[in-house]
Chain A
Amino acid sequence: MTISKENLSLWSVVISFAVFLFGWITHLNGLVTAGICLVLIIGAATITNGSYVLKRLAALIPTLVLVTLFAFFLQTQRVSPQDVAIRVLGPGATEQATTEFIAANGLDAPFFSRYLDWISGAVVGDLGTSFVNNTSVSDQVAAALPISLQLMVYAQIIALLLAVPGGVYAAYKANQRGDAVLSTSALGFLSVPNFVLALVLVFLFAAKLDLLPATRYEYFGESPWEHFQHMLLPSLALGMGLAATYLRLLRGDMVITLQESFITTAKAKGVSPRRVLWGHALRPSMFTLLTVFAVNAGALIGGTLIVEIIFILPGMGNLIATAIVGFDFLILQGAVVVLAVGFVLLNFLADLLYAALDPRIRHVRS
């Protein structure tokens, strides 16, 4: 496969994935590598089919503004300037001292000017400074985010490894015993809340069998083996539910594909069932899975937050929980904004990838 204008987008995704891996292993700043990847992908996509990407990018801006505005609105509604001043200066602060503090920090400014002030910092990566413990919100988020991202990536890998063979097999044996077993257990796993699954896994593999560690995070750079040991149970807890969703979707699409005439042709030509399934039927059946792959990221983010709390991993989930308990609303606001913006960008990238895979989309939507 050579690099040409047509497949530039795919190559940019591959290259930025490599950049991401490199940055992850060498412990570069996560926000920097993510930024480089984003610029690479959007740049390549713009070169390939310029106006479509730029239009989609422009359509993103109102969403991003509204989402950040919403988070900022919640935060300012909850935290009055007086509270902040008293928290920073101590409970014995005089009336005059608090007034001076509020004026000095611009806390009495009108809502929109405060928002503009904050958002202009946020755009360049400064989410403000926590009034509770005087640390930079960006630093805390940057420390927590990679751990959540790793967990999500592992969960997706596990889900796909389980769901693709399972879905293909279930579609092949549609309405027979093998399908019934797989589809029923998928419905079962779909109904287990992932924190319940996490607790069951901890109980079985950590408490009873003593095979795997139940808590604590281990950095990949320090000991890759231990890292994967520590991440296995949380990723399983997240991945099983995802796998069930994917399996059901893939089975449904594949059952339909298997009734198409090109499959009958292939069968009539004497192609082996294995080749028909994996070579002919799988690719056209994957499209719903791809869209849901991105849409599901929202559910995955939610699941990650809870599972992190159960396994005491220092990711975004624990950051949010600590912020809520400690009344650290700037951190809560920062975490919400980062997760929401990340989710929006992820959906945008998935859309680009989808357009790159299926050229019809570009023309239909633009």
Chain B
Amino acid sequence: MSVVNATEVTVTVAAPAAPPADSDDGYVARKRGFWFWAAAAWLGFIVLCMLFSQWFPGLAEPRERVGSPRIGPGADYLFGTNNSGHSVFARCLHGARISIGVAVIATFGGIVMGGTVGLISGYYRRGIDTTLSSLVNVMLAIPGLVLALALVGFFAPTGGFDDQRFLFFTVSPNTNATIWATIALAILSTPSISRVARAQTLVWSDRDFVLASRTLGARNLRIIIRDVLPNVLPAMLSFALIGVAALIVVQAALAFFGIGDVTATSWGGDINFGRDRLDSEPHMVFFPSLFMFLTVLSLNYLSDKFIELNAVKEAGV
């Protein structure tokens, strides 16, 4: 399922914490393999595009007119051109910045917020846990995309040309829309990440080395940061990979509702603009979709692999 209110994945992530059940099949060699490196290579390429696409030699600008509109893919124009004669290939590479950047920053925000909430409620338990968990449950009570639509729809005004104030900065309306989309997606990913963090903290804070630290007189904050956090982090990070994948899709979905930054170069926006001519010029939709699909697939696959490798490590404890 693609537009993920990431809770559904919580279950799949929580499962491997139990000892691997297929152990009496005999030991299955878990090596990284070709597809692992293929997925990693694709993600590396996408990250390069995200950071440096504007300095790639010979690559057209996203809004540079390279030929007449709607030329099919071929030798002259690798992926063809779009409605305005922009190069689809160039726009696919440049689009990584908004499509991936927003999702990555939002997931990072989600890890910071969700991790804090999860660690606190898992470590202190009792009243604090009950309060925080019920707040998290309220956030989970709103379907993911609906929450994003509500936040961005209400707070990110579409259109308008005047610069607006955002906290302490003055930004253009489009930047403002992107910032709000990022904030909305960060809020969106917080509750599910906090659930993962809480579940892991509950397990790890009962271990003997935590007791040892406490006996040595370490304060709670130190125990949380030095002893619990490093053990909770792997689960949160492998969850974050799926989180990024899910947020890429949600971010693109916002374009279909005409909110967020509609003028930016992003895969979702390009798919949305191209779909009117799906029957005659499918390449305008096909290539951004392919980029998005490969990226999401790589992230899902890597996350699967990390969980597998992690299961081995935990079984070895």
List residues of A whose CB falls within 8 A of some B CB: 62-63, 66-67, 70-71, 74-75, 77-78, 174-175, 187-188, 190-197, 199-200, 202-203, 206-208, 241-242, 244-245, 248-249, 252, 255-256, 259, 288, 291-292, 295-303, 305-306, 309-310, 317, 320-321, 323-325, 329, 332, 336, 339-340, 343-344, 347
CB neighbours of A196 from chain B (8 A): 271, 289, 292-293
CB neighbours of A62 from chain B (8 A): 134, 138
- B221 close to A (CB within 8 Å): no
Asked, given contacts A71-B150, A295-B7, A302-B3, whether A193 binds B257 with beta carbons under 8 Å apart, the answer is: no
Asked, given contacts A67-B138, A245-B8, A256-B21, whether A343 binds B143 with beta carbons under 8 Å apart, the answer is: yes
Choose, from B52-60, B167-175, B248-256, the stretch at the interface. Answer: B248-256
Asked, given contacts A191-B296, A249-B12, A256-B21, whether A298 binds B278 with beta carbons under 8 Å apart, the answer is: no
Q: Is the CB of B138 within 8 A of A299?
A: no
24 contacts between A and B (CB under 8 A): A62-B138, A74-B154, A175-B25, A187-B301, A187-B304, A192-B296, A193-B296, A199-B278, A203-B278, A207-B278, A249-B12, A295-B7, A296-B1, A301-B145, A302-B3, A302-B143, A302-B253, A309-B257, A310-B275, A324-B258, A325-B158, A332-B150, A340-B142, A340-B143
Q: Is the CB of A303 within 8 A of B146?
A: no
CB neighbours of B138 from chain A (8 A): 62-63, 66-67
Chain B's closest residue to A206 (CB) is B279
Instruction: Mark interface residues in B246-270 (1 if CB within 8 Å of A CB, else 0).
Output: 0001101100111100000000000
Chain B's closest residue to A244 (CB) is B1
Q: Is the CB of A340 within 8 A of B149?
A: no
How close is B275's CB to chain A, nearest CB, in angstroms?
6
Q: Is the CB of A303 within 8 A of B293?
A: no
Bound CA span A190–B297, Å = 8
Bound CA span A37–B82, Å = 50
Instruction: Mark interface residues in B275-298 (1 if CB within 8 Å of A CB, else 0).
Output: 100110010010001001100110
Find A325's partner among B249, B258, B296 (CB 8 Å cutoff): B258
CB neighbours of B279 from chain A (8 A): 203, 206-208
Q: Is the CB of A295 within 8 A of B11?
A: yes
- B164 close to A (CB within 8 Å): no
Chain B's closest residue to A255 (CB) is B22
Bound CA span A306–B253, Å = 7
Bound CA span A332–B151, Å = 11
Bound CA span A329–B293, Å = 33
Asked, given contacts A199-B278, A301-B145, A336-B150, whether A309 binds B256 with beta carbons under 8 Å apart, the answer is: yes
Bound CA span A333–B8, Å = 26
- B75 close to A (CB within 8 Å): no
Beyond the given pairs A194-B2, A196-B271, 16 more chain A to chain B contacts, judged by CB atoms under 8 angstroms and listed by A's residue number, are: A66-B138, A67-B142, A74-B150, A74-B151, A187-B301, A192-B293, A203-B279, A208-B279, A245-B8, A296-B1, A303-B145, A306-B145, A336-B149, A339-B143, A339-B146, A347-B141
How close is A122's CB to chain B, nearest CB, in angstroms?
16
- B24 close to A (CB within 8 Å): yes
Bound CA span A245–B7, Å = 12
For the residues of A in contact with B, the DSSP-based class is: helix
CB neighbours of B2 from chain A (8 A): 190-194, 197, 241, 299, 303
CB neighbours of B3 from chain A (8 A): 193-194, 299, 302-303, 306
- B300 close to A (CB within 8 Å): yes
CB neighbours of B78 from chain A (8 A): none
Bound CA span A242–B2, Å = 8
- B48 close to A (CB within 8 Å): no
Q: Is the CB of A332 within 8 A of B154?
A: yes
CB neighbours of A66 from chain B (8 A): 138
CB neighbours of B271 from chain A (8 A): 195-196, 199
How close is B138's CB to chain A, nearest CB, in angstroms?
5
CB neighbours of A192 from chain B (8 A): 2, 293, 296
CB neighbours of B258 from chain A (8 A): 321, 324-325
Q: Is the CB of A191 within 8 A of B293?
A: yes
- B15 close to A (CB within 8 Å): yes
- B113 close to A (CB within 8 Å): no
CB neighbours of B7 from chain A (8 A): 295, 298
- B68 close to A (CB within 8 Å): no
CB neighbours of B22 from chain A (8 A): 174, 255, 259
Bound CA span A305–B2, Å = 13
- B223 close to A (CB within 8 Å): no
How close is A313's CB to chain B, nearest CB, in angstroms?
13
Q: Is the CB of B153 within 8 A of A255?
A: no
Asked, given contacts A78-B154, A207-B278, A298-B144, whether A191 binds B149 with beta carbons under 8 Å apart, the answer is: no
Bound CA span A103–B110, Å = 42
CB neighbours of A324 from chain B (8 A): 149, 153, 158, 257-259
- B245 close to A (CB within 8 Å): yes
For residues 52 through 99 of chain B, which have their beta carbon under 8 Å from a beta carbon of chain A? none
- B155 close to A (CB within 8 Å): yes
- B216 close to A (CB within 8 Å): no
Chain A's closest residue to B288 (CB) is A196
- B5 close to A (CB within 8 Å): yes
